[in-house]
Chains A and B, each alone.
Chain A
């Protein structure tokens, strides 16, 4: 169940209620597009007739601001800095998260050891970690990276633990009884059982990671999307804040949709459609 939930709503924990994507049916497509039209239309009208442009800039104003940012040359260095923080931090968080997850899934002792810490970091606001990391590491690139590891590894861990517990015990026992080589068991029983959870772990961890990156950069950093958002905020440049926010969300969406999902689909291409 957790798998479907994460698949539909990659960037948030959707617990009990799975999101049912039913956009396959053609008749509802009009309604769906209508929603977008109403939103953008309302935004445009409100900014044109109700609010001053510095309170609510028109969608076109945000677009032209984004175009300007792209042309001014401060886009690439900041975007690249955030991407770098995110990449390093997330890879580390994933390694730590999987290691802890395997330990916790296999041994009751390690489960007791890490349980409180994992629960605690899942529920404590990212703000707290961002502030402490900025305090300890100052303006260096270590601050966002450590903050990513601390906040996003438990989300990886929780899923890996579930994966380890989903390994079919009886199949492993049977394989052992029939003297199947360990490598074959690993490849044909354990990896297929754990793999979906490992991918869900990527989604969950990443959903946290990109937000904490921007947050930490905002509180202290030399370059990065978060730094730029802070600058625009201090200048009371609403279009700039929204524009940079869209760049940040774009980075997350592109990574999520074009890279993570594609890898996942490639990995699971052997599965029947219904599961994929």
Chain B
């Protein structure tokens, strides 16, 4: 903000100014992190913290021998399956909850408990119930995403403007147009929120459940590497996790939300970006 002052004449000043822009800061931060890591790693006794280069090698290895792709694709399949169930079931329950206050009274507390209950405990319970077959993690995705879908579906139903619906009825607007221009647009932010938060939390629950209740998947793979003391592999895989988060957040949700909400004023769109 303060950086819009006229540029100084000398090049040194210009370079310094370029370093102080927020855009440069986004690059400076990871570089500083890397430098600190490089300096600190050799100081730690018994070399528990691997050097950046070792981690890089491990990451290349994981990408080459298929550890990365295999485990992430197994996890993604589980995530999709569990979330699809949650979307169907949560959509039905949520819409019913939005329409009936009695049903809301019955279910409200359980939905809140569902938001709070640690995925760790679910992971352990499904491991004891279903063994290591891989059904467990799918169920945990379902459990983790369900309350978000329910809450948003219920809220979306309540949010459809009664006045506009009445007006549409008075002017005899056809049902398909009411659906297209009134109901869907007012439901879409809620659908989008349930997609985003449901998937984000489903993912967190999934990888945790995989540690205890599966013998494949991203969560299982990283826990396994730690078990065998392959520390560079653990850190490398953790970086893949981080990269995956960025990918989903930026490309999928950034693009998608811009497209879905292109009819909204820019200020509101920003609101959606910051609420998470």
User: Which A residues are closer than 8 A to B by beta carbons?
Assistant: 1-2, 8-23, 28-29, 31-32, 34-36, 38-39, 55, 108-117, 119-120, 122-128, 131-132, 134-136, 158, 162, 207, 211, 214-215, 218-219, 226, 229, 233, 236, 238, 241-242, 245, 248-249, 252
Interface string of B38-65 (1 = CB under 8 A from A): 0000001000110000000000000000
Q: Which of these, A28, A116, A233, contacts B29 with CB under 8 Å?
A: A116
Q: Assess the B235–A132 pair: CB atoms within 8 A.
A: yes
Bound CA span A10–B33, Å? 33
Contact (Cβ within 8 A) B203 A125: yes
In the complex, are the beta carbons of A18 and B106 less than 8 A apart?
A: no
- For A14, the chain B residues whose CB sits under 8 A away are 115, 148, 151
What does DSSP make chain A's interface, helix, strand, loop or mixed? helix
Q: How large is the interface on B (under 10, 10 to 19, 20 to 34, 35 or more residues)?
A: 35 or more
Residues of B within 8 A of A16 (CB): 152, 155, 189-190, 192-193, 272, 275
CA separation between A245 and B197, bound complex, in Å? 24
- Cross-interface CB contact of A12 among B48, B104, B115, B275, cutoff 8 Å: B115
Asked whether any CB of chain A lies closer than 8 Å to the CB of B73, the reply is: no
Tell me, yes or no, whether B120 is within 8 Å of chain A by CB.
yes
Complex: A132 Cα to B156 Cα, angstroms = 40
Residues of A within 8 A of B192 (CB): 16
A28 partner, pick from B101, B119, B158, B222, beta carbons under 8 A: B101
Residues of B within 8 A of A248 (CB): 118
Q: Are A233 and B235 in contact (CB under 8 A)?
A: no
How many whole Å from B111's CB to the nearest CB in chain A?
8
Please give 8 more A-B residue pairs, beta carbons under 8 A apart, in addition to A15-B275, A116-B26, A135-B48: A16-B155, A23-B105, A114-B29, A123-B246, A126-B204, A128-B222, A218-B120, A248-B118
Asked whether, in the complex, the Cβ of B101 is within 8 Å of the Cβ of A22, the reply is yes
* B173 CB within 8 Å of chain A: no
In contact, A17 and B190 (Cβ under 8 angstroms): yes
CA distance A242 to B208 in the complex (A): 17
Neighbour of B118 across the interface among A162, A238, A245, CB < 8 A: A245
Q: Is the CB of B208 within 8 A of A117?
A: no
| CB-defined A-B contacts under 8 Å, sample of 27 | A9-B115, A9-B116, A10-B116, A12-B115, A12-B116, A12-B201, A13-B276, A14-B151, A17-B151, A17-B156, A17-B193, A20-B155, A32-B106, A108-B1, A108-B3, A108-B22, A113-B22, A119-B249, A123-B245, A123-B248, A127-B204, A127-B219, A127-B222, A127-B223, A131-B222, A131-B223, A242-B121
- Given the known interface contacts A11-B116, A16-B190, the answer about A31 and B106 at a Cβ–Cβ threshold of 8 Å is yes
Q: Please name all residues of chain A whose beta carbon is closer than 8 Å to the beta carbon of B21 when the two chains form the complex.
A: 109, 112
Q: Please, which residues of chain B bring their CB within 8 A of the CB of A162?
A: 274
Give A111 to B102 CA distance when docked, in angstroms.
46
Asked if B116 and A249 sit within 8 Å, CB to CB, the answer is: yes
Q: Is B84 close to A, CB under 8 A?
A: no
In the complex, chain B residues 143-172 whose Cβ is within 8 Å of any chain A Cβ = 147-148, 151-152, 154-156, 158
